[in-house]
A and B are shown apart, each in its own frame.
Chain A
Amino acid sequence: MKAAAEQFVHPGEIPQVCDRLTASGARMQMAYARFPLPGEPPEVLYLADEGPDQPFPLLRCRLSSQSYELESLTPHIPLLGWYEREMMDLCGVHFRHHPEPRPLVLHEGAHPVLPPLDPRYPADQPMPFAPLAWELPPVEGEDVQMLPFGPVRGDVLESAQIAFYYIGEAILHCHPRLFFKHRGMEKRFEGLDPFFGVLIAEHVSGVDSIAHTLAFSQAVEAACDCEVPIRACYIRTILAEMERLYNHLYYLGHLCHTTTLKVGEAQGKLLAEQCKQLNGIFTGSRFLRAILKPGGLRRDLDLGELPSHLRALEPEIEHYMQSLESTNSHLDRLITTGHLPRQTAFDQGASGPIKRASGIQRDLRSNHPYAAYKWFPMYIPMREEGDAHARAQIRMQEIRDSIALIINAVEGMPAGPIEAPVSTPPYAEGLGWCEGTRGSIYYCVHFDAAGKLSRVKVKSASFSNWRVFPFTVHDTNMMDYAINEASFGLTMAGCDR
């Protein structure tokens, strides 16, 4: 695979090779399975990160035709737990000695005739489904109460279900059931031309449209050895930061909503709206859609006036953030809430601002620069506290940095072409990545003999962070739950796909 350092490994050697890799300081990023040919055994791929500017190690392991089985790595490398369960659900690969061998992505009662990601599974065949009761952990002790919440929750929220086990105000255990919104997005790429693939990537998570299309386009470009023109790289970078800006401002407003700081909520959401309107004015889409394509951009954008709009907005944003930071009632609810220790963040796979708020310094924009990021000095804000306040502070600093970066990039943007031709060689493969608003996003694309997409793996930031989130809920109290969830800034669509 292009843009990754491949190593072919025998199924029996996977545990040793992975352990050696993590012992040398690398961190696993994701794992997925694909079927190279219909009817043949699947291949399982593990992606790791060895540190700044090092190529991403990619372990490839062809399973034998006798048994689609591997040893589970979750006991050593907990963050792989969900990836392995996903492969069990969608690809029919079994992992021996998995500590949580339950279904994850497909709900109990879903019985596809074949694993849905098997290429022989017909593209338009709904899987049989008879809803089964949700299997919850048993509870002993008379005083423990159980509160099921969702999937239809109060307010306008994405669908997810959470069961709380609690005594009085104290939460003993929080048990989420997600993937109500699993739309089978990875299957939808199958057989498509990469130019249509962009439209699918755009709809994985609407508020992360640019991050997903950028990671997808870069994966295709890597597979096809396509060099994107510099002007297109600049515009892509600017769009990615515009996406971060409106998301982070909305995040601050929503966080105020949970701490009942009403004016703070109104102001944060108004600033987010103003940024979305700027998106509309300069790109035609409030979600920055319909601009990116593999090879560059679909059309050139005139962003000359953007800096003056941002300069007008900047003092307003700065004043707002400073006001939040000096409001005791708001800070009281954030400080020490939802504490995520560094080690848990690392082991369970926390991503993006969540991880950086718990003391792990890693940002794909500076560690593995893409688009135009290598031409700009990147300062990565860090916090050690690991609480809701630290997570908000990281985002506040990123807002400042995004504005500065957009203004710099617009003012230094070169003229020139905005697209390069893309032709896909048969069986090409590529890896693409992007540091989205919520953390790292990876796309692995595999093409077939005809140059159409045969398998696309989407690793989203929310999939990583939802796995981590419950660890910050146990042993806290009910009143803090909503604040803690808001401080993570999660999406369901990205997680469930």
Chain B
Amino acid sequence: MPFWTLYGLSRGLATTAWPGGQDAELQTGVLGLPGFQPDQCRENCRACVDACLPKAIQPARGEANGITIDYGRCISCQLCTELCPEGVFTKSNHWAFGVRRREDLEWAEALSSQPAQELKQKIQRSFGRSLHIRHVDAGSCNGCESELQALNNPYYNLHRLGIFFTPSPRFADLLLVTGSVTYAMREPLLETYNAMPEPRWVMATGTCAVSGGVTGGGYSCAHGVDGFLPVDVYLPGCPPNPAAIIHSLLVLLNRTEQLVHGGRYEE
């Protein structure tokens, strides 16, 4: 097939340098999870709370006026940024929200010091150079699958980072779960996990897998992976874009820093 060989070669390099270099074009214009400045809040205003379908924004406990946000529930619908009269919530391009502890997605008044993670050393030693992923769709809207499939396109080219999807759980180090876990997918999900050799890790990908989002609960769904499996990395986003997925895989491997602590995003 000389034609396609030449065709491929003539197209040159399509792959982004990210996260190795600064690639400004990576996700131009893509809106992430909203920025939050609670000190600008207007008194007795609950516009954002009323506008938040997945209940990510809630009145703060113990405060008459305050509000708090749990980014693990945010579906990035941008309604709060449109309805807030004071600019407390703003559109942002913050999408690299992968964290190791679920609490880091919740707004915390004061940042506590981060406890050292015992796992870190071990995972770096075992899998720092190569990671094999088994994906399980536990009831997503297929937005997450679309972005996971994009990881292997020439632009993101996940293989260059030593990260691969594998068909069999027997060869997998990481179980990547999407969806809020339907009743029918609960058993297949657990069976897949049980078929994986130890040590093994779990990443909840997308807001549905982190908290249920707008598809959690009801007669057929759970509220994400928590409660079924021990989750090592949480990545909210609806869906998280491919760069956000790569970022949190590298966070898992301890090859890059987590950007979100106590709900605050470090630029």
Question: Which A residues lie at the B interface, using CB under 8 A?
Answer: 107, 110, 112, 116, 121, 123-127, 129, 131, 151-152, 154-159, 179-185, 187-188, 192, 196, 199-200, 202-207, 209, 250, 253, 261-264, 266-267, 269-270, 272-274, 276-277, 280-287, 289-290, 298-299, 323, 327, 329, 491-494
Q: How far is the CA of A269 from the CA of B156 in the complex (A)?
A: 11
Which of A183, A199, A272 meets B182, CB within 8 Å?
A183
User: B220 and A184: CB pair below 8 A?
Assistant: yes
**In the complex where A264-B4, A290-B77, A323-B7 touch, is A188 in contact with B143 (Cβ < 8 A)?**
no
**In the complex where A206-B146, A286-B241 touch, is A127 in contact with B30 (Cβ < 8 A)?**
no
**In the complex where A180-B184, A329-B1 touch, is A493 in contact with B218 (Cβ < 8 A)?**
no
User: B91 and A126: CB pair below 8 A?
Assistant: no
Query: Smallest CB–CB gap between B166 and chain A, Å?
Result: 9
CB-CB under 8 A from A182, the residues of chain B are 139, 182, 184, 220
CB-CB under 8 A from A179, the residues of chain B are 184
**In the complex where A196-B53, A285-B31 touch, is A157 in contact with B219 (Cβ < 8 A)?**
no
Closest residue of B by beta carbon distance from A246: B146
19 additional contacts (CB under 8 A) given A107-B184, A183-B221, A187-B218: A112-B219, A124-B218, A152-B134, A152-B192, A156-B135, A157-B137, A159-B185, A183-B215, A183-B218, A199-B53, A269-B153, A277-B25, A284-B30, A284-B31, A287-B143, A289-B238, A290-B31, A323-B3, A491-B142
Q: How far is the CA of A272 from the CA of B222 in the complex (A)?
A: 33
CB-CB under 8 A from A181, the residues of chain B are 137, 139-140, 179, 182, 184-185
Size category of the binding interface on chain B: 35 or more
User: B188 and A159: CB pair below 8 A?
Assistant: yes
Query: What are 19 A-B contacts with C-beta separation under 8 Å?
Result: A121-B219, A126-B217, A126-B218, A152-B136, A159-B136, A180-B185, A203-B141, A203-B143, A203-B215, A263-B4, A270-B153, A270-B154, A273-B155, A283-B29, A284-B31, A290-B78, A327-B3, A329-B1, A491-B142
Which of A185, A250, A263, A282 meets B29, CB within 8 Å?
A282
User: A200 and B8: CB pair below 8 A?
Assistant: no
Decide if B258 is an interface residue (CB 8 Å cutoff).
no
CB-CB under 8 A from B3, the residues of chain A are 323, 327
Tell me the total A-B contact number using a CB cutoff of 8 A.
Answer: 205
Most chain B beta carbons < 10 A, residue from A206, A267, A282: A206
Closest residue of A by beta carbon distance from B176: A156
User: B11 and A267: CB pair below 8 A?
Assistant: yes
Closest residue of B by beta carbon distance from A256: B4
Query: Smallest CB–CB gap between B148 and chain A, Å?
Result: 5
User: A184 and B53: CB pair below 8 A?
Assistant: no
CB-CB under 8 A from A270, the residues of chain B are 11, 14, 153-155
Query: Smallest CB–CB gap between A472 and chain B, Å?
Result: 22
CB-CB under 8 A from A112, the residues of chain B are 219
User: A151 and B183: CB pair below 8 A?
Assistant: no
**In the complex where A183-B182, A204-B141 touch, is A199 in contact with B77 (Cβ < 8 A)?**
yes
Decide if B28 is an interface residue (CB 8 Å cutoff).
yes
Decide if B165 is an interface residue (CB 8 Å cutoff).
yes
Q: How far is the CA of A270 from the CA of B214 in the complex (A)?
A: 31
Q: How far is the CA of A264 from the CA of B4 in the complex (A)?
A: 7
Which of A152, A284, A327 meets B91, CB within 8 Å?
A284
Decide if B138 is an interface residue (CB 8 Å cutoff).
yes
Q: Which of B32-86 contact A (CB under 8 A)?
A: 53, 75-79, 82
Decide if B149 is an interface residue (CB 8 Å cutoff).
yes
User: A159 and B137: CB pair below 8 A?
Assistant: yes
User: A127 and B167: CB pair below 8 A?
Assistant: no
Decide if B187 is an interface residue (CB 8 Å cutoff).
yes
Most chain B beta carbons < 10 A, residue from A179, A181, A202: A181
Q: How far is the CA of A182 from the CA of B136 in the complex (A)?
A: 15
Decide if B98 is an interface residue (CB 8 Å cutoff).
no
| Chain B window 105-146, contacts with chain A (Cβ cutoff 8 Å), 1 for yes, 0 for no | 000000000000000000000000000001111111111111
CB-CB under 8 A from A192, the residues of chain B are 53
Query: Smallest CB–CB gap between B247 and chain A, Å?
Result: 16
CB-CB under 8 A from A187, the residues of chain B are 218-219
Q: How far is the CA of A263 from the CA of B11 in the complex (A)?
A: 10
| Chain B window 153-190, contacts with chain A (Cβ cutoff 8 Å), 1 for yes, 0 for no | 11110000000010101000000000110111101100
